[in-house]
Chains A and B, each alone.
Chain A
Amino acid sequence: MKKTLTAALPLSFLTLSLMAAAGPAAAAEELFIYNWSDYTAPEVLAKFEKETGIKVTLDVYDSNETLLAKMKAGNAAYDIVVPSHNFVPIMIKDGLLQPIDAPKLSNYANIDEKWRNPEWDPGNRYTVPWMWGTTSFAVDTAVYKGPTDSASLLFTPPPELRGNIGMFKTPEEVVAVASIALGLPQCDDNPKDLKKVEELLAGQKPAVKIYSSEGIHERLAAGEVAMHMIWNGAAKRARDVRPTITYVYPKEGVLAFMDNLTVPKTAKNVKNALTFIDFMLKPENIAIQSNFARYSNGIKGSQAFLSPDLRDAPEINPPATVKTVFQPVCSDQAVKLRDRVWTRLFQ
């Protein structure tokens, strides 16, 4: 008697709980999205659900590395994931994404020509643009009155800015921006070139007040520094507090990142994923997303739907002439040289 009881109870519990757990997954039309945290407008998902009747479930991750690990482990059966440009080639190479043939989507023509056929996904076979941003620097024009058009302002600062500068504490970004300033390629593995980068940074170092990647816009807004390396969105937030802050688009080029909508090979609702991607290619929809995340999108005509402060913000709307530089994932050799520059800089 005791034996049957102990065997039967766990089994019935197991069946019950599994049934309860599997219940919602069996619903009619679903879409599972895996995106960066705090990066998906709830309004846009609600609108999508209302228009299509597809129920959306959103999970979030903290980094490209987490996303890649999850996909490689083989249990990320999401329908949409949003890797950054530098992780797209890795995922394609590892066979983690499935082709979506974006040019065949009905709203493909809405994508800005500038963002079609990107270097990380020729022919948009796997991706369409989601949000993009830039990494440059901002300067307080109440302190510095001269021209703000070159990266030399940051690396060889004039006297009024010396000792008043903040830099990122991440070698990837600092070396990438310094390489652009010197006209060198990204992920350079030529030691001679890296020597030049090192000299540039070492020359700048006495003028730098702080190396830190946190609390940047707060520091600029509080006037603790008059010039700081910064992301475009953060620069906008600094300007909201201190109107004399100007975000600089250097003529040498600006470091950029692009996050992309993609469909993993393991997706279970591919049709719904494509419906979602096509939906997000409409200017009125991607604009809701931009208003939420405060980042630029790659869709023509979305400006009309942006909130006024975003529509007129130079941080979010770079001049058409600006040269964007996307950093790929660097080779081991390039990373080693980069880290060596960084170590020597702080010796």
Chain B
Amino acid sequence: MARKTRKITDLPGFRGFTWLFFAYLYAPLVLLVVFSFNATRSGTVWSGFSLTWYAKIAADSQIQRAALNSLTVAICATAIATVVATAAALAMKRGVPFFGRKVTGGLIMTPLVVPEIVTAVATLLLFSAIGLSLGLGNIILAHVAFCIPFAYLPIRARLERMDESIELAARDLYATPWQTLRTVTLPLLAPGIVSGALLALITSIDDFIITMMVAEPGATTLPLYIYGMLRLGVSPEINAISTILLGVSVGVVTLSHLLTRRR
């Protein structure tokens, strides 16, 4: 009695369920984008195409300040996190083996699994304990911490796939370690570094919980501003900023993905 092997895709209703799943994931986002172009204030009734809300954002100095804060934080945090992550990846993969290397690898990744609210409270407690008050600097420092694993992942992955014999060949040809790093390792690693940096950038721009906790006066970022506006109900203005934020996120992640795939 041979049992016929069945694939999961043969199950009845699988196709319908798949469609339902994607609708569940993307319908709210599609609605959010569509209603950002609504002519009236309503977030539920469509009454014609308009760019009113985008024009309103363009004229709102508060939103611009928040966006500028978000960018400043993201760029600074990304720069620091990427340098640290690159160094870490090189040490883990190319450095001299040391005791506890496996554990260290795990420790670098833990921020990914620690509940964000826990990190947020812990960071806040640390900052108030040492009396740190640097305005945006507080947020940058907090962001660096959770951006490192995001930058580390693609860099490490790239390093895994890179042929070490090329670097060894350079050393055989009397290149100093510094020359090897600069002219061989880093150029080959570049796609991983850029990809990691972009991931870190987007993680930083999108962060809410940790930023909310450690934000000092004047350090409102875009997600904080959007949240503050919610008390008046979801207006198309929020839809419009969210759409821009969504566009930036999708764009950056796509770019990061393309860069990792190449070569």
Contact = CB atoms under 8 A, between A and B. Distances in A.
Contacts of B232: 37-38
A339 B178 CA distance: 70
A37 B140 contact: no
A46 to B, nearest CB: 10
Contacts of B111: none
B60 to A, nearest CB: 9
Contact of B137 (A1, A18, A76, A77): A18
Nearest to A33: B217
Contacts of B61: 42
A14 B80 contact: yes
Interface stretch (A59-67, A105-113, A122-130): A59-67
B36 interface: no
A1 B80 CA distance: 19
A14 to B, nearest CB: 6
B174 to A, nearest CB: 15
A299 to B, nearest CB: 25
A21 B138 CA distance: 9
A26 B75 CA distance: 22
Contact of A60 (B134, B138, B228): B228
Contacts of A2: 90, 177-178, 181
**Max chain B Cβ within 10 angstroms of own Cβ: one of A37, A61, A79:** A37
A60 B72 contact: no
A274 B218 CA distance: 19
Interface in A1-54: 1-2, 5-6, 9-10, 13-14, 16-18, 20-22, 24-25, 32, 34, 36-38, 42
B177 A74 contact: no
A320 interface: no
Given A58-B62, A60-B220, A36 B231 contact: yes
A214 interface: yes
B217 A61 contact: no
Contacts of A73: 124, 128, 213
A59 B91 CA distance: 42
B232 to A, nearest CB: 6
Contacts of A57: 217-218
The size class of the interface chain B forms with chain A is 35 or more
B229 A37 contact: yes
A76 B224 CA distance: 14
Given A2-B181, A17-B137, A32 B218 contact: yes
B177 A75 contact: no
Contact of B124 (A24, A60, A75, A214): A75
Nearest to A7: B87
Interface string B113-154: 000000000001001100001111110100000000000000
A74 B124 CA distance: 9
A218 B140 CA distance: 43
B74 to A, nearest CB: 11
A57 B220 CA distance: 10
B84 A60 contact: no
B176 interface: yes
Given A17-B137, A21-B134, A62-B227, A214 B233 contact: yes
A25 B218 contact: yes
Given A17-B80, A75-B127, A24 B135 contact: yes
Interface in B157-175: none
Chief secondary structure at chain A's binding surface: mixed
Contacts of B198: none
Interface in B229-244: 229-233
Chief secondary structure at chain B's binding surface: helix
Nearest to A74: B128
Contact of B83 (A10, A24, A38): A10
B225 interface: yes
A75 B176 contact: no
Contact of A37 (B83, B133, B228): B228
A78 interface: yes
B155 interface: no
A77 B80 contact: no
Q: 3 closest pairs, A vs B, by CB?
A: A17-B76, A32-B217, A6-B87
24 contacts: A9-B87, A10-B83, A10-B84, A13-B79, A14-B80, A17-B76, A17-B79, A17-B80, A17-B137, A18-B134, A21-B76, A21-B135, A36-B231, A59-B217, A59-B224, A60-B220, A60-B225, A62-B230, A62-B231, A74-B128, A75-B127, A75-B133, A75-B214, A77-B216
Interface of A: 1-2, 5-6, 9-10, 13-14, 16-18, 20-22, 24-25, 32, 34, 36-38, 42, 57-63, 73-79, 214
Given A75-B216, A79-B217, 16 more contacts: A1-B176, A1-B178, A2-B177, A5-B181, A13-B76, A18-B134, A18-B140, A21-B135, A21-B136, A42-B61, A60-B228, A61-B228, A62-B228, A75-B127, A75-B133, A77-B216
Interface of B: 61-62, 72, 76, 79-80, 83-84, 87, 90-91, 124, 127-128, 133-138, 140, 176-178, 181, 213-220, 224-225, 227-233
